Chains A and B, each alone.
Chain A
């Protein structure tokens, strides 16, 4: 692979590129899904290809192909240069890349047990046991359990002399029960929604989830939701369990702090950001107990690696410190736009066929000092919501509305009745400023988001958000539930 990579760089430079990089990526995936007693997915996929990125005449060009051979690399590199020259017809200034040391390094995701060494029969036995437990209730019309494993080996070379060989591994799984009665559909999932919990690492992650132990409870709650009262509309104190806080972080802090979005580069699709550059350093994003930190070195994070796809070494840096907005996520190209001397290492591509773009990193809410029990005991009139069911936010990342699978009423410091169709709506900075309690380290989990979409063409990235249960005051809940 090294000789292919060097060949691409040589060709690009000969064709006039002032910068070039190539990523050759080999992926191996195993996706298993059991639904209602049948195997709905048992897919073993392998994928190899490369993408060449160049700066020529001061502008970017990118091309990719699945055919890894010298002739194709030459052709694709030539195409990337041609594309860059077309880009140069409409530029304001030449692309400027922040300095990054040259790295010649390898990096491997630590793991205890490779998921590819675990027999399929063992994985299927677990999923079928969960399936059987979930379907003990006739109201459960759909029981779905899944596991997914991805190993990604990437060789990256740059014209600056970096050569990085990384092997990333991520594993995870989860399940859900969908119950239906009289035109009402309710879902409960574990450990979180939309496929479950994912982390970087091996099969030890799936074992640590103890999936089967939770199947009966999930079934019972899905059925109970059918008879539960609807979450009433109004203003309440809102407690969010950790996985929902993770989604809140992702949508209302992660995306608005992506600098490319701030600078208008996503305007036509996913939108821009209210967190414009004059706010950096002097905007109160949240209450003083709110601290949000990016960390692409944290063990287990889905965005954790040695280097990003700009060949920038992974780092840790703050986005919100004691409530104040202090940082962005950005890459080498955009660093100078905020006076930064170095990229923070947030540039990633979905495999070999896509161009790297600024992506959400592992962005976490640092633990606070409350226990969950304390938070509930201190709440006179509130709702505790758990597990995401829907999400919607405006294109500047201000007005959001999120729905959860289940809520519980809190009255006078005690958890009470179960509530269905709980949702809440707010304006991002008002919401974070209303945060008055955050769970301590004992409640803190690094939640995985394996399916974040961004860009045109659309690409998927994975990242993690660490969070504990958190409390927010005077939040609008139950939107639209007046009619139910």
Chain B
């Protein structure tokens, strides 16, 4: 995988070809090795190697950007010429800010050579274990084992240079037996930390338990959400609520609410790229150091994340924010504003077992499928349960149930969280992004309809 020296050479060589007023280069490199299986066989097996170099130039207050994936001198010069062409034909951008000088960044331990070198034979071996276990239960296994990483570097004509690389291994599996399904997943930077047996055993156990589901009437139920189910909520909070542009334009549930209670007292959410559970990029796409930001503290809205542009804007209502960039900028300019990339819901002191034991009648959810936003301010979402949904009665998992659709304001639901687990894990949301999440129990969560399976 690309290393810092190689990245620095390339970035500086590209910059040397530009005579624009200001020039910025963002280099990306990805290696994605993924073995996919279904019906107990390997169906797809790929090794993707991608490169990209985006160059942005300022000509006064005009800006243009071009990209290439070829790094010979001629291609780099052409990309710069294209960026200058775009800038020369653009209108002036009144929000355009000068590029930043060198920052100080704290490294995050996100790269592991084991993961980068994990090959197709080793992935096949793990999958073979899964398939063998599934076959013993007369079940079928589907899923992925992915190992790879990415590197990103940013440099500019003010001598800023920053480099980061990270690896990621994902083992995810769905087991189907007699029309029922169960699922489990684990994500780690270090592939050797993946507990494949735990993933396999959990997916099989859930599938076996999920056979012959009954139909439950739609309505409000106490719900116990495993960590993967919580991730969808955090993902939509990230894109609809925690970004500085949504906030200043009045489109966030936090708009006008800083310092006010928006969630339960037991809810604290932080964006932290330096967490051991989900280490991330220590700088943003302008080269600002990424800060740890307390988004929600004991239910009180504290702050969204900002870039230099959003932090300077006065929101509707008239009070000045008086804050600086938090180091969450996407490549500038952009249309979406800054976002947190490493959101974590702080742990509580409970456990999944306790949540189940304390539930007289409720629903246990493994994860959700295809959730989406109905109302961005109340953050009303709708989505389906999948791969292991169970009725809890009198403190025990009583029966499997057919999958249900929820329609609920998750901001309001986070005011009704009764328990949060002490144990947390890194999990993916359906549409992407990694979050550090515990299990939670929420009172009176609304399920609006039921499916046929």
Is B49 among interface residues, defined by CB-CB distance under 8 A? yes
Nearest A residue (CB) for B94: A38
Q: Is the CB of A92 within 8 A of B40?
A: yes
Q: Is the CB of A89 within 8 A of B128?
A: yes
Is B383 among interface residues, defined by CB-CB distance under 8 A? yes
Q: Which one of B39, B50, B93, B405 lies within 8 Å of A394 (CB-CB)?
A: B405
One of B30-38, B266-274, B286-294, B342-350 contacting the partner = B30-38
Q: Is the CB of B37 within 8 A of A90?
A: yes
Q: Is the CB of A456 within 8 A of B69?
A: no
Q: Complex formed: what's the CA distance from A141 to B373 in Å? A: 19
Q: Is the CB of A62 within 8 A of B45?
A: yes
Is B83 among interface residues, defined by CB-CB distance under 8 A? yes
Nearest A residue (CB) for B95: A38
Q: Complex formed: what's the CA distance from A121 to B63 in Å? A: 13
B85 — which chain A residues lie within 8 A by C-beta? 44, 120
Is A60 among interface residues, defined by CB-CB distance under 8 A? yes
Q: Is the CB of A66 within 8 A of B45?
A: no
A483 — which chain B residues lie within 8 A by C-beta? 409
Is A178 among interface residues, defined by CB-CB distance under 8 A? yes
CB 8 Å contact bits of A49-62 with B (1 = contact, 0 = none): 10000000001111
Q: Is the CB of B335 within 8 A of A40?
A: yes
Nearest B residue (CB) for A272: B176
Q: Is the CB of A394 within 8 A of B121?
A: no
- Can you give 12 contacting A-B residue pairs, CB < 8 Å? A45-B66, A46-B82, A47-B67, A64-B50, A66-B70, A86-B124, A91-B41, A121-B89, A124-B91, A394-B370, A394-B384, A398-B453
Q: Is the CB of A394 within 8 A of B35?
A: no
Q: Is the CB of B120 within 8 A of A128?
A: no
Q: Complex formed: what's the CA distance from A90 to B131 in Å? A: 9
Q: Is the CB of A49 within 8 A of B69?
A: yes
In the complex, how many angstroms separate the beta carbon of A4 from the nearest chain B beta carbon?
Answer: 14
Q: Complex formed: what's the CA distance from A353 to B31 in Å? A: 11
Q: Given A180-B251, A457-B146: A395 and B369 within 8 A (CB)?
A: yes
Is B250 among interface residues, defined by CB-CB distance under 8 A? yes
Q: Complex formed: what's the CA distance from A221 to B272 in Å? A: 40
In the complex, how many angstroms separate the beta carbon of A377 from the nearest chain B beta carbon?
Answer: 31
Q: Complex formed: what's the CA distance from A140 to B33 in Å? A: 45
A142 — which chain B residues lie within 8 A by C-beta? 249, 251
One of B7-15, B108-116, B151-159, B444-452 contacting the partner = B444-452
Is A442 among interface residues, defined by CB-CB distance under 8 A? no
Q: Most A CB atoms within 10 A — which of B43, B78, B131?
A: B43
Q: Is the CB of B370 within 8 A of A264?
A: no
Interface size of B as a range: 35 or more
Nearest B residue (CB) for A88: B42
Q: Is the CB of B371 within 8 A of A392?
A: yes
Q: Is the CB of B41 within 8 A of A62?
A: no
Q: Which one of B50, B140, B316 lies within 8 Å of A353 (CB-CB)?
A: B50
Is A425 among interface residues, defined by CB-CB distance under 8 A? yes
Is B143 among interface residues, defined by CB-CB distance under 8 A? yes
Q: Is the CB of B375 within 8 A of A392?
A: no
Q: Is the CB of A180 within 8 A of B45?
A: no
A395 — which chain B residues lie within 8 A by C-beta? 369-370, 384, 386
CB 8 Å contact bits of B40-65 with A (1 = contact, 0 = none): 11111111111110100000000111
A86 — which chain B residues lie within 8 A by C-beta? 35, 42, 45, 119-121, 123-124
Is B382 among interface residues, defined by CB-CB distance under 8 A? yes
Given contacts A45-B67, A46-B78, A265-B142, 20 further A-B pairs with CB under 8 A are: A40-B333, A41-B335, A42-B64, A43-B67, A45-B54, A45-B66, A63-B48, A79-B47, A83-B45, A86-B120, A86-B121, A87-B45, A180-B250, A185-B377, A268-B143, A395-B386, A403-B374, A421-B375, A457-B32, A457-B34
Mostly, the B contact residues are strand
A457 — which chain B residues lie within 8 A by C-beta? 32, 34, 46, 48, 146
B358 — which chain A residues lie within 8 A by C-beta? none
Q: Given A79-B47, A263-B39: A398 and B451 within 8 A (CB)?
A: yes
Q: Is the CB of B374 within 8 A of A43?
A: no
Q: Given A354-B48, A395-B370: A42 and B65 within 8 A (CB)?
A: yes
Q: Is the CB of A264 within 8 A of B50?
A: no
Q: Which one of A44, A91, A392, A398 lies within 8 Å of B66 (CB-CB)?
A: A44
CB 8 Å contact bits of B231-257 with A (1 = contact, 0 = none): 000000000000000000111000100
Q: Is the CB of A396 within 8 A of B42?
A: no
A residues 68-117 touching B (CB-CB < 8 Å): 76, 79-80, 82-84, 86-87, 89-92
B433 — which chain A residues lie within 8 A by C-beta? none
Q: Is the CB of A353 within 8 A of B49?
A: yes
Nearest A residue (CB) for B93: A38
Q: Complex formed: what's the CA distance from A222 to B150 in Å? A: 41
Q: Given A271-B369, A479-B448: A60 and B44 within 8 A (CB)?
A: yes
Nearest A residue (CB) for B48: A353
Is A35 among interface residues, defined by CB-CB distance under 8 A? yes
Q: Complex formed: what's the CA distance from A60 to B43 in Å? A: 7
Q: Is the CB of B49 within 8 A of A66?
A: yes
Is B372 among interface residues, defined by CB-CB distance under 8 A? yes
Q: Is the CB of A183 within 8 A of B377?
A: yes
Q: Is the CB of B89 within 8 A of A456?
A: no
A398 — which chain B residues lie within 8 A by C-beta? 451-453
Q: Most B CB atoms within 10 A — which of A59, A82, A119, A183?
A: A183
Q: Complex formed: what's the CA distance from A398 to B405 in Å? A: 11
Is A467 among interface residues, defined by CB-CB distance under 8 A? no
B69 — which chain A residues lie within 8 A by C-beta? 46-49, 66
Q: Is the CB of A62 within 8 A of B333?
A: no
Q: Is the CB of A42 within 8 A of B90?
A: yes
Q: Is the CB of B93 within 8 A of A268?
A: no
In the complex, how many angstroms separate the beta carbon of B338 from the nearest chain A beta carbon?
Answer: 13
Is B188 among interface residues, defined by CB-CB distance under 8 A? no
Q: Complex formed: what's the CA distance from A225 to B54 in Å? A: 40
Q: Is the CB of B45 within 8 A of A60?
A: yes
Q: Complex formed: what's the CA distance from A124 to B85 in Å? A: 14
Q: Which one of A39, A263, A353, A392 lies within 8 Å of B91 (CB-CB)?
A: A39
Q: Is the CB of B372 within 8 A of A390?
A: yes
Is B397 among interface residues, defined by CB-CB distance under 8 A? no
CB 8 Å contact bits of B359-382 with A (1 = contact, 0 = none): 000000000011111111100101
Q: Complex formed: what's the CA distance from A178 to B336 in Å? A: 13
Q: Complex formed: what's the CA distance from A393 to B63 in Å? A: 41
Nearest A residue (CB) for B142: A267
Is B18 among interface residues, defined by CB-CB distance under 8 A? no
A128 — which chain B residues lie within 8 A by C-beta? 91
A46 — which chain B residues lie within 8 A by C-beta? 66-70, 78-79, 82
Q: Given A90-B131, A394-B405, A480-B374: A265 and B451 within 8 A (CB)?
A: no
Q: Complex formed: what's the CA distance from A127 to B52 in Å? A: 28
B45 — which chain A residues lie within 8 A by C-beta? 59-62, 83-84, 86-87
Nearest A residue (CB) for B37: A90
B87 — which chain A residues lie within 8 A by C-beta? 42
Is B334 among interface residues, defined by CB-CB distance under 8 A? yes
Q: Is the CB of A264 within 8 A of B142?
A: yes
Is B421 among interface residues, defined by CB-CB distance under 8 A? no
Q: Given A49-B69, A124-B90: A62 and B44 within 8 A (CB)?
A: yes
Is B86 among interface residues, defined by CB-CB distance under 8 A? yes
A residues 142-180 touching B (CB-CB < 8 Å): 142, 144, 178, 180
Q: Complex formed: what's the CA distance from A121 to B386 in Å? A: 49
Q: Is the CB of B63 within 8 A of A39?
A: yes
Nearest A residue (CB) for B336: A40
Is A355 among interface residues, defined by CB-CB distance under 8 A? yes
Is A401 among interface residues, defined by CB-CB distance under 8 A? yes
In the complex, how many angstroms separate the beta carbon of A415 from the nearest chain B beta carbon?
Answer: 24
Q: Complex formed: what's the CA distance from A44 to B375 in Å? A: 34
In the complex, how many angstroms separate the beta carbon of A160 from the nearest chain B beta carbon?
Answer: 21
Is A357 among interface residues, defined by CB-CB distance under 8 A? yes
Nearest B residue (CB) for A183: B377
Nearest B residue (CB) for A142: B249
Q: Complex formed: what's the CA distance from A479 to B374 in Å? A: 10
